Amino acid sequence: MYDVEKVRTEFPILGRKVGGKDLVYLDNAATSQKPRRVLEALNEYYEEHNANIHRGVHRLSEEATSAYEGSRGKVARFLGAPEETGLVFTRGTTESVNLVAHAWGRKELREGDEVVLTEVEHHSNLVPWQLAARATGAKLRFVPVLEDGTLDMEEAARLIGPRTKMVAAVHASNVLATINPVERLAELAHEAGALMLVDGAQSAPHLPVNVEALGCDFFACSGHKMLGPTGVGVLWGRPEVLEEMDPFLGGGEMIREVHLDHSTWNDPPHKFEAGTMNIAQVVGFGAAVDYLKGLRMENVREHERRLGEYAYQRLSELEGITIHGPTEDRTGIASFTLPDVHPHDLSQLLDEEGIAIRSGHHCTQPLMRRLGVVATARASFYLYNTEEEVDALVDALARAREFFGAFV
Amino acid sequence: MMRELYTQVIMDHCQRPRNQGKLEDADLEEHLLNPLCGDEVVVYAAFDGDRVAEVRFSGRGCAISQASASMMTERLSGKSLKEAEAEIEMFKEQMVGKKEFPKLDDLAALKGVVKYPSRVKCAILAWSAFHEGLSKGGRGSEELAIPEE
């Protein structure tokens, strides 16, 4: 039995007030809150083990190295990665995608090659490919999104072909509450001889993920969206693919031998971890995946599926509301627009009641254009949110409409 | 609290915007996006010599940005280009709290926004667009001087 009230007690920030009201935090797709044990892991690291890693021959450095590399193992197992050597620490999903678009893209893409993306991508899985395309002469193609928010998979099968070198797609949309069939996209990519990258920023925190089962070649996610500290994320890549790639950043740790005029590279994953990494944050990330593992991701998904359905149903009671995305199989995200109050004004009015939601384009401007809106309001739930908080949201939205309506 | 931000004047302008809609054959037409939220505004102006004869706006945005755009069209109409620039400059300084709003000024209705830094951009969006248009030469700029075929 999943005990959300017990879970809530482990997140200190959930006890705070905003303007005298209980905080209702519904901006989890932007970043998650942190459980006590993650905060303690950060503290413990700094109070007891802090040192630079990998090259120090002293006790603290050995402890710090072991904590850092221990996190690598934890995160690799969490993602179902068969081996740790494929797991590269980065600053987050954005950096992970940039790493691939740069270190793989600049080396492998040629004029006439194609990279297939989707219309629902977050800017972080779009702009890096635009840069790679500009540098190499490759072309970007886009799998269209259908009216119900799902991908046009027939068109995907047509688009992915002999010219395709990479398919890169978001696993769970940060706007539409969809889970995309990335397994099928990976099959199509591999049939065409292309590689598959999955942007897991919104899936790894919320669903059981297994990179082997997905069949992808790269998987990217961010620690801070899954209870971990900011400043750390991962890129998992098939070791044989990482092996062939050029380095991303040059500097310490990523080298084997350095001469004045040339250098040779360390093995993956170290080849892609130049300079001093966010060691404490990596250690904190390890504590976060331990915590998630303890709750079991199946339970997390089930809790959020129910909450997402409940939110969809309650929000539908608001007259004239548009909730974007499909009616079923939703994640814990609800993007919506009301005809009478702009999303910005909504989030301002909700903030007065201690309710944190997001408004804007959610870093998906092409998708907003496709939906015919400039902005949406978005409530995004996580493992500590409750049905009472959904009720608070819906009541506050009704009051916001009354407030605006009173002036007409 | 919310009444300080969403004042009667703001809500009136937002729900009954003045001078809204495209101005045909405008001497100045400037499009501006708020990159933070995707809100967009287009401002148009017709000049009569060195005076601003008419100002209009279109676009989509929140109550603050729509009301501010509407108020701007009223404020800048009839001003000389120089006065218009000075008004814009003054308004921007007022919005970041560097200058006070005079008591009887209509624009003082936007005073509550100053406390919400994330919304100041909404309030100055249309004004920035107008400023941008003026600095590109407004009337007489080459782009606008080319007659449509």
Residue to mutate among B62, B65, B119, with most A CBs inside 10 A, is B62
Domain that holds residue B85: 2-137
Q: What 3-state class would DSSP assign to B99?
A: coil
Q: In terms of CA atoms, which chain A residue is nearest residue B11?
A: A407
Together in a domain, A384 and A366: yes
Give the count of domains, chain B: 1
Together in a domain, A259 and A228: yes
pLDDT band at B138 (very low <50, low <70, confident <90, very high): low
* Final residue in a domain of this structure, among A293, A310, A329: A293
The dihedral region occupied by A393, where left means phi > 0, alpha psi between -120 and 50, and beta the remainder, is alpha
Confirm whether A36 is domain-assigned: no
pLDDT confidence of residue B118: 87
- Whether residue A369 lies within 8 A of chain B, CB to CB, comes out as no
pLDDT confidence of residue B104: 82
CB contact under 8 A, A342 and B63: yes
Q: Is the pLDDT of residue B80 over 90?
A: yes
Instruction: Give the A:B interface size as CB pairs under 8 Å.
Output: 54
pLDDT confidence of residue A200: 98
Together in a domain, A224 and A308: no
Confirm whether B142 is domain-assigned: no
Query: How much of chain B exceeds pLDDT 90, in percent?
Result: 75
Confirm whether A41 is domain-assigned: no
Determine phi and psi for A355, rounding to 5 degrees: -100, 120
Rounded to whole angstroms, the Cα distance separating A52 from A281 reads 13
Catalytic amino acids of A?
363
Q: How far apart are the first and last CA of chain B?
A: 53
Give the count of domains, chain A: 2
Instruction: Write the CATH number for B107.
Output: 3.90.1010.10
What ipTM is given for this predicted complex?
0.84
- Whether residue A361 lies within 8 A of chain B, CB to CB, comes out as yes
Cβ under 8 Å to A: B residues 59-98: 60-64
Together in a domain, A127 and A275: yes
* Final residue in a domain of this structure, among A241, A273, A293: A293
Together in a domain, A15 and A76: no
* Final residue in a domain of this structure, among A234, A261, A293: A293
- Which pLDDT tens digit goes with each residue over B15-44? 999 999 999 999 999 999 887 777 889 999
Confirm whether A165 is domain-assigned: yes
Q: Which residue has the higher pLDDT, B105 or A110?
A: A110
Q: Which residues of chain A have pLDDT under 50?
A: none
Tell me the whole-structure pTM to 2 decimals. Answer: 0.93
pLDDT confidence of residue A138: 98
- Which pLDDT tens digit goes with each residue over B91-102? 999 999 999 998
Confirm whether A44 is domain-assigned: no
Domain that holds residue A386: 4-27+296-405
CB contact under 8 A, B122 and A365: no
CB contact under 8 A, B37 and A361: yes
CB contact under 8 A, A352 and B1: yes
Confirm whether A58 is domain-assigned: yes
Confirm whether A379 is domain-assigned: yes
Together in a domain, A361 and A390: yes
Q: Is the pLDDT of residue B146 over 60?
A: no
Together in a domain, A300 and A280: no
CB A120 within 8 A of CB A175: yes
- Whether residue B40 lies within 8 A of chain A, CB to CB, comes out as yes
